[in-house]
Amino acid sequence: MIDLQSINAIIFDLGNVIYDIRYENISDQFRKFGVVDFDKLYSQAGQTEEIDLFEEGKISPARFRNYIRSLTDVPLTDEQIDQGWNAIMIDIPECRIEMLKRLQQQYRVFLFSNTNQINCEYFTQYVIDKFGYNIFNHHFEKAYYSHTLQIKKPKPEAFQRIIEENHLDPAKTLFIDDIERHLKGAQSVGLRTYHHAAGNICDFF
C-alpha cells in the first residue's frame, strides 16, 4: 500500500501507471510496414532530439512525420506513422477509473505525462469511445501534457510550474511514476514520490 498519511494531493504519471503501454509495440507495428530496426530510434531508455522536441511541443506533427520518413527507405503515409506511433497505447482497465473516482473524493488529483500531440489525440478519443466521456477532464483537477506544457519530466522546472499554478505544498503532494529519473526531478523540488515499478496501481491504494 502507498502511504498517504499527510498527503492532500497526488500527481499521477500516465503511461504504465494509469494507462497500460508497451514501448516494443511501436517497433513491432513499423516492422509490419517494412521498417526494420525501428527500436534503435525510440525506447524507454533514450530518444532522439527530434522526438524530445515533439514531446515538448516544439515541432509540429507534420514535421515529426517527415522526420520519421527521413529515417526509413519506406514511403510511409501519415496514417501509417500515426498508427505506428499510437501502437504504444494499450488500454486503461476500468478498475483505475474507479480508483480515480475514490481518490478524487479525498485528494486533489493531477496528471503529468510526457507525451505528444499524436498520442494525446489518440488516447483521448480512445477513452471517450470506451467510457463514454473524457476521463482526463472528469477525474483529474488538471491534466498536464509535456507537449502543451512545453517541458518534459524530469526537468525540475516542469514540476515547479505545476506546484505554483495549483498552489500545492510539495511536502503534502505525492508524485507517482514508473521511471526513476522522473522521480528524481520531482524530489529536487520537494515532492514526495513513489516508484510504481510493476503491478496494477489499483492494488496499491
User: Cβ(189)–Cβ(170) under 8 Å?
Assistant: yes
Q: How many domains would you assign to the chain?
A: 2
Does residue 60 lie in a domain region? yes
Q: Which of 86, 105, 138 is the last residue of a domain?
A: 86
Alpha carbon 191 to chain centroid, angstroms: 18
Q: Rounded to two decimals, what is the model's pTM?
A: 0.94
Residue 65: pLDDT band with limits 50, 70, 90:
very high
Residue 45: pLDDT band with limits 50, 70, 90:
very low
pLDDT for 1 equals: 64
What is the average per-residue pLDDT within 135-155? 98
Q: Which of 86, 107, 139 is the last residue of a domain?
A: 86
From residue 36, alpha-carbon distances to 28, 31, 120, 193 in Å are 9, 5, 26, 38
Find the angle CA(144)-CA(96)-CA(122) to the nearest 5 degrees: 50
What is the average per-residue pLDDT within 71-94? 95
49 and 115 housed in the same domain: no
User: Cβ(23)–Cβ(186) under 8 Å?
Assistant: no
**Measured distance CA(84)–CA(78) in Å, rounded:** 10
Question: For residue range 86-123, what is the model confidence (pLDDT) as tens digits?
Answer: 999 999 999 999 999 999 999 999 999 999 999 999 99
**Measured distance CA(95)–CA(79) in Å, rounded:** 32
